[in-house]
Amino acid sequence: MNERKMRSLVKSITYRIICIMSLSIVTYIITRDLMQMGLIVLIFQTIQTVLYYLHERVWNNVRWGSRPPA
């Protein structure tokens, strides 16, 4: 349960890449506009990356449901 901050950051970024690709596809299908798609994806993914990182850091300090080190 001692995950380093850099590991949390890398996990956040790789997860966001997957989310960016899926949101881009869906947004483009709906809007048919690359500028709108780009703006929506940029704003949404920036917010989500920060929230995911904070979520990971909080859960790194929660002992509930984890096993003690061997």
CA-to-CA dists, residue 60 to 11, 18, 50, angstroms: 13, 22, 16
Quick: pLDDT tens for 2-48.
Answer: 778 888 888 878 888 898 899 999 999 999 999 999 999 999 988 98
Whether residue 16 is contained in a domain is answered as yes
Report how many domains make up the chain.
Answer: 1
- Its domain, for residue 13, covers 5-60
User: Phi, psi at residue 30, to the nearest 5°?
Assistant: -75, -45
Establish if 45 belongs to a structural domain.
Answer: yes
Q: pTM (2 decimals)?
A: 0.64
